Amino acid sequence: MKVVRFHEFGGPDVLKVENVPDPMPGPGEVRVRAEAIGVGVPDILMRRGNYDWIPPLPVTPGNELAGTVDAVGDGVDTVAVGDRVYVNSRELPARGGGYAEAMAVPAGAAFAMPDDVDAVQAVALGNYQLSWLLLNYASTPRAGDRILVHAAAGGVGSAIVQVAKSMGLEVFGIAGSKAKADYVTEQGADAVIDRNAEDIGTRVAELTGGDGVDFIYDSVAGPGLSKDFAMLAPMGMIVMFGYLGGDPDPDLFAHMRAKFGDSIAFRLFSIHVLDNKPAIRRGAMKSAMAALAAGEITPHIHATMPLGEAAAAHRLIEGGSVTGKIVLTP
């Protein structure tokens, strides 16, 4: 079968298409023949070598795969050949492995995928799982609260917008162009700020009558994260869950102290906090799968590309033009 993997860290060109034997499921495992493979930021971080959960080289990236079970190992009685399933590497002993035509995984790691669920859309579910956890576990906004979402046109950002609106929240998004701002509006945001054309702080003050927002969800971070604190309402919270823009100012407390009287909060969140709490993590994924099957969420697919074009997919994401999810097909 074909896989895409890298033998050294670096840019997209280190991704190579290679032929390897089909994996054989061992005891308790199933083999999933891929229909769709998700591409995400963790794949890029793995390729660059700055992800804490990288398996040993050579690495096959890819943390989401949907397809059909075509072989089962000894002792498996919960999954059968022909079952459609979704696999997320958050359930596996090691991250990655999805950029492949087939994958052997523990039977218990496979999520049942209803027949009427599109595999291409299913591989965006990791974004909705994370969004649910950000809005129900890392923080607990209530209906009517105001939230601000950085990178709202991205896969996770747009999922946060959709999930937050279903919870009755007032949602403001930040995007990097008019086209992206229009896209975030289509996802249901109440207002969108084009960071290249508007001052974010000034616009938030206008939108909230100077009160600020109750929660800020920031996957960009970088030096600009320090400006988030000034946009918080009293008792507000920043939830940082990524650092696409680099590390923030190491002295965040200085910025928090400037609003000491407002009792603001900062949380650094990683889904890895649930590595030893699988019931919560899996429950969030099952909720996302049910919402997709019911038509309650609508993942946007930016592009579908052949598996062999994984390097091009990475370049697209790094170029900053992507809205929603990029999907590879075998």
Say how far apart CA 329 and CA 316 lie, in whole Å: 16
* 290-303 confidence digits (pLDDT tens): 999 999 898 999 99
**What's the predicted TM-score (pTM) here?**
0.91
Name the amino acid, one letter, at 161: V
* 33-60 confidence digits (pLDDT tens): 999 999 998 999 999 998 888 999 999 9
Pairing relation of β-strands 64-72 and 29-39? antiparallel
**What domains are there in the chain, each with its CATH number?**
2-124+300-329 (3.90.180.10), 126-272 (3.40.50.720)
DSSP letters of 110-160? EEE--TTS-HHHHTTHHHHHHHHHHHHTS----TT-EEEETTTTBHHHHHH
Residue 224 has phi, psi (to 5 degrees) of: -70, -15
* 194-246 confidence digits (pLDDT tens): 999 999 999 999 999 999 999 999 999 988 889 999 999 999 999 999 887 88
Beta bridge partners of 275: none
Residue 31's pLDDT band (boundaries 50, 70, 90)?
A: very high
Say how far apart CA 165 and CA 171 lie, in whole Å: 7
